Amino acid sequence: MIAVLIDPDKASDSQLDNLVFHPNFDQVDFLFVGGSLVTDGNMKICLQGLKKRTDKPLIIFPGSPNQIDDTADAILLLSLISGRNSDLLIGRHVESAHKLKRSGLEILSTGYILVDGGRTTTVSYISGTTPIPQDKPGIAAATALAGCQLGQQLIYLDCGSGANQHASPRLIAAVKNEVDVPIIVGGGIKTKEDAESVFRSGADVVVVGNKLEENPNFLTELVKAKEAFAEA
Ligand code: 1GP
């Protein structure tokens, strides 16, 4: 499946139009909305803009509790299990638990694993956590397994937005072999070959943000990668 990540701080009307009215948009499965740093108020404006344009599932990908907004359909309730920042493992969740319950959003409990994408990304800087090195697939697999044993329903392997490289095939495959839950992979996917390699290695959902902001026609390449994998 394909998820497009939308940064509410960058989502102008024309950017949303370019995405939603693209001829291949019907092949997009989910819209993830959020980020490590989002200006107050922009989340709602962005979600309302998307709601007006499409019926696709809108899923919040929150960097902080102020991004919870019931205009969306669901939320990836992220626990940053590759890090040891207690706030991002449980603290923020406690602070937002009642707000989240009242929102009525579908909650998708997600083990979020940050992987080294070759540069310091906003998410690693803001979270103050060290990503798992690409050459340590065993650590990634054990981390994902622990997340599932704690009851997480999804695993998100992320190199962070704008990463130089995406999670390696070896690391994705190691995680895939260890757990039965769906695996979301994002960060640094910039070519059709990247997307194909990530699908082939075991990703159930491929997430692209930056590349589609730069060039909405990359959606055509992404769809070809999804179709090539589906036919194989
Ligand atoms: C980041 O996985 C997402 O959290 C998407 O990353 O912007 O690099 O595609 P990109």
Kindly report the protein residue whose alpha carbon is nearest to atom 1 of ligand 1: 161
Q: What is the pLDDT of residue 2?
A: 98
**pLDDT value at residue 229:** 83
The CA distances from residue 127 to 60, 83, 112, 124, 228, in Å, are: 18, 8, 12, 5, 36
Q: How many residues does the chain have?
A: 232
Please report the pLDDT score of residue 227 as a whole number.
Answer: 92
The packing angle between helices 192-201 and 218-231, to 10°, is 30
Reported as a single tens digit per residue, the pLDDT across 182-225 is 999 999 999 999 999 999 999 999 999 999 999 999 999 999 99
> How many angstroms does the Cα of residue 159 sit away from the middle of ligand 1?
7
**Is the distance from CB of 57 to CB of 30 less than 8 angstroms?**
yes
Q: Which segments of the chain have a pLDDT < 70? A: none
CA separation for the pair 185, 171 (Å, rounded): 11
Give the per-residue pLDDT at 38: 83
| Number of the ligand 1 atom closest to the C-alpha atom of 186 | 2
pLDDT recorded at residue 36:
86
Stated pTM of the model: 0.97
pLDDT of residue 166: 98
* Residue ranges around ligand 1 (CB below 6 Å): 5, 158, 160-163, 186-189, 207-211
State the pLDDT at residue 37.
Answer: 84
Question: Which pLDDT score is estimated for 231?
Answer: 81
Gap from CA of 146 to ligand 1 centroid (Å): 24
Going by DSSP bridges, is the β-strand pair 2-6/58-60 parallel, antiparallel, or unpaired?
unpaired
